[in-house]
Amino acid sequence: MNDSHTVPSGLRLRVYQLLVLLALFGLWWGLTASAILPPFFFGEPLRVLVRIGEWFASGDIYPHLGVTLIETVLAFAFGTGLGLAVGLWLALSPTAAVLADPYIKAANAMPRVILAPIFAVWFGLGIGSKVALGITLVFFIVFFNVYQGIREVSPVVLANARMLGAGRRQLLRHVYLPSAMSWVFSCLHTSVGMAFVGAVVGEYLGSAKGVGYLILQAEGTFDINTVFAGILVLTACALLLDGLVGQVERRLLAWQPGQGSTEKI
Tell me, yes or no, whether 265 lies in a domain: no
d(C-alpha 203, C-alpha 142), whole Å: 24
Q: What percent of the chain has pLDDT over 70?
A: 82
d(CA 251, CA 109): 34
Query: What mean pLDDT comes out for the span 169-182?
Result: 70
Residue range 48-72: mean pLDDT, rounded: 90
Q: How confident is the model at residue 7 (pLDDT cuts 50, 70, 90)?
A: low
Tell whether 58 and 27 lie within a shared domain: no
Angle at 209 between CA 204 and CA 210, to 5 degrees: 65
- Same domain? For 20 and 123 the reply is no
Are both 137 and 22 inside the same structural domain? no
Burial of 59 (0-12, 13-18, 19+ CB in 10 A): exposed
CATH of the domain at 98: 1.10.3720.10
Residue-level pLDDT at 70: 92
pLDDT over 50 (residue 264): no
Q: Are residues 18 and 47 in the same domain?
A: no
**Does residue 2 fall inside a structural domain?**
no
What pLDDT sits at residue 97? 86
pLDDT at 220: 82
| 174 and 223 in a common domain | yes
Residue pLDDT, tens place only, 29-40? 888 888 888 888
Do 131 and 75 contact (CB within 8 A), yes or no?
yes
Both 20 and 93 in one domain: the answer is no
Name which of 135, 139, 134, 140 is nearest 197 in CA terms.
134
The count of structural domains within the chain is 2
Name the DSSP class of 115: G
| φ/ψ of residue 34, rounded to 5 | -90, 5
Q: Is the pTM of this model over 0.85?
A: no
Provide the pLDDT for residue 189: 80
- Structural domain of 34: 7-42
CA-CA-CA-CA torsion sign (173, 179, 185, 190): negative
Q: Which amino acid is at 55?
A: W
Judge whether 259 lies within some domain: no
Domain check: are 35 and 146 in the same one? no
Task: Output the pLDDT for position 161.
Answer: 67
